[in-house]
Chain A
Amino acid sequence: MNNDAFPKQPTYYEEVLRKGYPRRDFLKFASMMAAFIGLEQTAIAQVIQALETKPRMPVIWLHFQECTCCSESFIRSSHPIVADILLDKISLDYTETLMAASGTQAEAALKNTMAKYKGQYLLCVEGSVPMGADGVYCMIGGKTSLQILEEAAEGAAAVIAWGSCASNGCVQSAKPNPTGATPIHKLIKGKPIIKVPGCPPIGEVMAGVIVHYLTFGRIPELDRLGRPKAFYSKRVHDSCYRRPFYDAGLFVETFDDENAKKGYCLYKMGCKGPSTYNACGVMKWNNGTSFPIQAGHPCIGCSEENYWDNGRLYERASSFAGFGIEANADTVGKVALGVTAAALAVHAIATNIGKSKLIREHEEEGRESEHELEA
């Protein structure tokens, strides 16, 4: 592998300056990122140094079965440097949505990057891969998503699965999953994979993951499900500002009631905050403006695996597979209880018939003893 043949890549800092940002902005950006990824203050210098000295990292950003909301979220993350530098500069190598090139040129760019930076580039994947019908549901340039993914993953240093589609399949993998939509980690083995679930993930979280990788040259610490701990170790519920109402037992009963006006907890409106691991309550969205619960809407658990199939969005009780749409665990339970009670009643009657002799004998024996006893 000979990299010298290619012109040296500019560092991030050089790009920042070239774009006309003052150093002050650059430092602010670096501190903000360090805070987001949960680093100590002393590590800010490390982030700055990394951005100043490291050449920009080649990135291939693939789009499969998705809606591009991840990219949208990313370019809207609060600090302009994120979009300008991280996305503009890092991902220009290849990304279907934002690159200028198309057709053969684009294919060539992709090939080029893969060959030139073999073993060094970061592979970002947005969307799931359809495995049904030999992959015909999502093909680009005559290749199936799986072929493209496998080729690109071959020489990648690490893989980031952006969003719920790439991390766990999201809506297109909901039952009955007609296209066989499959998340990335089930298809690629032997590469570090970072899952950044959410529909979409928070822009700052996405930026944070990339900056972490840039700074330390390795993937951030992941939890059991492969998500960066810095952003996914707390439930939305744990940082929700409506939590005191939850603890007090004060709940919104319908969307238009008095309690909704008072800002009570949305638990009974189906809020999945108590089972959803994400940073929405802390980082919020759109430059920290708000997040769903703040806007009066329950959390739908969009960053959790299978959230489409695990019960309905506006109910806490889940439907019970195989018992029809209306039946939840409690309905089934109540029916089972009724059936049990009826069965026991039948058994009780049958006992009095089937065991009549035994019962009568015991009774006579007992009565006889009672007679023989002195009062």
Chain B
Amino acid sequence: MKLDAKIPSGPLELKWDKHRSDLKLIAPANKRKCDVIIVGTGLAGASAAASLGELGYNVKVFCFQDSPRRAHSVAAQGGINAAKNYQNDGDSIYRLFYDTIKGGDFRSREANVFRLAQLSLNIIDQCVAQGVPFARDYGGLLDNRSFGGAQVSRTFYARGQTGQQLLLGAYQSMMRQVAHGRVKLYPRTDMLDLVLINGHAKGIIVRDLITGEISSVAGDAVILATGGYSNVFFLSTNAKGCNVSAIYRAYKKGALFANPCFTQIHPTCIPVSGDYQSKLTLMSESLRNDGRIWVPKKPGDTRHPNDIPEDERDYFLERKYPSYGNLAPRDIASRAAKEVCDEERGVGPGGRGVYLDFSEAIKRLGKRKISERYGNLFEMYERITGENGYEQPMRIYPAPHYTMGGLWVDYNLMSNIPGLFVLGEANFSDHGANRLGASALMQGLADGYFIIPYTIGHYFATAKEPKSSVNNPEFKKAEKDVVNMIKKLLSVKGKRSAVSFHKELGRVMWDNVGMTRSRQSLETALKRVPEIRDEFWQNVIVSGVNETLNQDLENTIRIADFLEFAELLALDALEREESCGGHFRVEYQENGEAKRNDEQFAYVAAWEYQGIGNKPILHKEPLYYEYVQMATRSYKSMTDLL
């Protein structure tokens, strides 16, 4: 299979403009005849639904929550980037582009990332017009903060609830289209399969989560905006329902899965407290703007943090990365925290934590300013730990958070299956091997508001596929497969709950495929995952029946998919014999820093499914850099400023 990213020709700055004028249009009267299926109502899905509805398409939108407003985007705290340069601190589209490419450790496409940086400007304008209450300064203009991996202040925020406010903006715009009859909502519905007809994506199979009814939905194109797969680690900052199922089922139908091993561990989460734990809570990275990260210099120091004098503290990020200090990119900050804990300098129960200290910022700015900026995060921390972050440093530790990998898409955000588009965290497109803070929201909205409205029209104008009907045998067959899979799960009637398998899988993945990876650990994972999966299919017990609201069944189906997908993730990590971004292979390092191998691995790894337990086929999309030099991603020196 030849992978064609369809990157437009011409100079970088003009590619998207040129492409937009080259894309074929579809007459308004014909848009009404096109049925678009969107799975997902997060930033990516809701913004796409609103925009496509406005254009006159017939849109059907699905999500598993009871309301689209609860999609996991709602939980994003910190902010959204845009190269507005309102602060006059030297930001530009080019700089945001460069920061993102570099932050991604030179494993993303130049053309995609440049477009993202360009569109960042429109996103902020759009959101403000919708009434998103971004923070403002006393003059009434928009305020910014800085975020990891950047030396300019370009992050727009709405207290610690930026994701919520952006999502509500997109949701409200979508609901306006529901009122107009252009968008039809299907909440409490799980997508369980993708249906292809004549090689094109033509519909999905869904399960009604209240009645258990399995049915087919036909359309002229399918958009997946189903979010990330961090829950393969069981414990992550993602919501309980986040899953890989939708994109994994598409993968099983022939869509290529790109860079599954590029997962991001977030440095500032509340440490694990026990094995009953159901998820980890993120403290927004924006805290690193004003908080200083440290551990005691002495191993095993059990003194209260406030009793440890300045000269006995190791501000390890400031020491190792003087130019970025506490704002070093996520992967670097996470590994540095693991390192100091491995040296037994970690703090809190179990020694898996580092301090995040606000005392200096409080002295400098006053408690009021700090609480204005991060008040709700301090409250959240106190609610969970019972400790007051204003009076003593918080404790933080890294946790799985975001997945850069996802379904392979071309410049039009279309997968290798014609008519299947993938947006937001579910695709692999823009973040390379590591995502910078505040860039996921930007990407989700760029995809949904400003890219898909153009590219989907081109597909309809050029593909000219006949309409499909749910009576097509392909739909009947896919429905039957889903019904059989559910029957099989319910008939195992074993002794272990599905969650116990998920926890076991998560531990194997965190220990072997987590923050650091080695050939040996990956081989262990590749051996253990199929064993767990086998036992699952022989020994899982699922309560109840299909024909009712059955949360245990919903969850078990998702876990079954994680148990297959985990193997793909580990395999990709094994084959990528280099360290880059969030993927750190202990064999490939130099003076403790990740060592990339551009000669052999400057490509996108896109995997093609070959059946359960069979090795998938690897397709490579080479990455070319015409405008930036593939520098070593150093955050150490002051001269590293380009």
Chains A and B bind each other: no
**B residues in contact (CB < 8 Å) with A:** none
